[in-house]
């Protein structure tokens, strides 16, 4: 899980394996990496987000990384809700 800050004010937490950025590592993320499996840049099914190990091929390693995080979630807060809590 990566933790970043936006100008040191708002914490943003996400999993790199959450390929559709919905706050959950689930079947949708598995589908994204599966569709791109065995692809390289310039292939029709290439998806740079699915190349989690950044070696220019979507392999079983990338599928395994998503599977390892399967079921993990983060709480998504809107800016408005976050400021109200402070």
| pLDDT number for residue 26 | 97
Do 82 and 10 meet the contact criterion of CB atoms below 8 Å apart?
A: yes
Burial annotation 36-68 (CB, 10 A radius, 16+ → b, else e): beebeeeeeeebebbbbeeeebbbeebbebbee
Q: Which residue has the higher pLDDT, 57 or 11?
A: 57
Domains of the chain: 2-85 (1.10.1330.10)
| pLDDT number for residue 12 | 61
- What confidence tens digit (pLDDT) does each residue in 74-85 have? 875 554 444 444
């Amino acid at each position: 899980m990566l933790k970043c800050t936006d100008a040191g004010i708002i914490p943003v937490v996400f999993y790199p394996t959450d390929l559709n950025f919905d706050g959950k590592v689930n079947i949708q993320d598995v589908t994204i990496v599966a569709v791109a499996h065995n692809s390289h840049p310039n292939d029709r099914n290439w998806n740079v987000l699915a190349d989690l190990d950044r070696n220019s091929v979507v392999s079983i390693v990338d599928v395994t990384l998503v599977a390892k995080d399967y079921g993990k979630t983060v709480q998504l807060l809107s800016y408005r809700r976050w400021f109200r809590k402070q």
